[in-house]
Amino acid sequence: MSHTTPEFPEYAAEFAGRVALVTGAASGIGLAIARRLTAGGAAVVLADYHEAGARAAAAELVTGGARAAAVAVDVTDPASVEAAVRFTVDTFGALHLAVNNAGIAGPSAPTGEYDISAWDRVLATDLSGVFYCMRHELPAILAAGGGAVVNMSSILGTNGFAGQPAYVAAKHGVIGLTKTAALEYAAQGVRINAVGPGFIETPLLADADRAVHEHLVSLHPQGRLGTAEEVAELTAFLLSDRASFVQGGYHLVDGGYAAR
């Protein structure tokens, strides 16, 4: 069965005049978010480690009439993140919205056997990377008069998952970081929230064998995996003025995974 995101023409200009930065935007959830934000009128910078993919995606959006640009970023490098934020402000004049979505899964192994270099790599990308992004985004958002940030956690931000100690620890950390920053910046006009997707049909799962895919489906009471567009719709809501009193939350889009 095909599952697509419905059109909401009444929100076609909800992000008009806003500038957004989306990391991990060359594919998957990040690209779906970039598309959703440009559909709402935002100017969007697609940032990704895979610069060619980000440039191709941005070119596609521009061809469709959107205001979009691409920049290479390594979220494990604070200087690279700072440069991406500076590029965004230099290109479109400000930064109002940020989606810190870049992440990796890492290998699967029990905690007592987990490769230490893999642990360091996952934590550097999935947790420190979110901190580095907020560290440089928040001053720019304040300079623009306020805005909103969404950090991409996971359903594993509050659940365990055997064989994924680094990913689970990082995604738990993203929620704590989100809540702390939300308290710090609420009175300054910046809303900060986290999204917790269940397992989503993205390139990260494209290579999974059929048995693994069916097992993941079985964990979701709706009987399917989610789509990147469904995550993008929740993210867009949290970034929009419709979510004006939503602050410091962890918001699930998981097909009932956490309700089991």
The per-residue pLDDT for range 7-65, each reduced to its tens digit, is 556 677 999 999 999 999 999 999 999 999 999 999 999 999 999 999 999 999 999 99
What's the mean pLDDT in 99-105?
97
Q: Is 167 a catalytic residue?
A: yes
Domain ranges (residues) in the chain: 16-255
State which CATH number among 3.40.50.1400, 3.40.50.150, 3.20.20.140, 3.40.50.720 fits the domain covering 16-255: 3.40.50.720
pLDDT of residue 2: 45
More confidently predicted of 94 and 207: 94
State the catalytic residue, choosing from 167, 185, 250, 257: 167
Percent of the chain with pLDDT over 70: 95
Phi, psi of 64 (to 5 degrees): -85, 5
Indicate the pTM of the whole model.
0.94
pLDDT of residue 202: 78
Please state, in angstroms and rounded to a whole number, the distance separating the CA atoms of residues 256 and 250.
15
The pLDDT tens digits for 150-196 are 999 999 999 999 999 999 999 999 999 999 999 999 999 999 999 99
Q: Report whether 95 contacts 69 (CB < 8 A).
A: no
The pLDDT tens digits for 68-90 are 999 999 999 999 999 999 999 99
Please state, in angstroms and rounded to a whole number, the distance separating the CA atoms of residues 123 and 12.
37
Phi, psi of 175 (to 5 degrees): -65, -45
Distance of CA 10 to CAs 6, 38, 83, 154, Å?
Answer: 12, 14, 35, 29
The pLDDT tens digits for 221-258 are 999 999 999 999 999 999 999 999 999 999 999 999 99
Distance of CA 127 to CAs 39, 149, 166, Å?
Answer: 29, 15, 10
Q: How confident is the model at residue 212 (pLDDT cuts 50, 70, 90)?
A: confident
Q: How confident is the model at residue 3 (pLDDT cuts 50, 70, 90)?
A: low
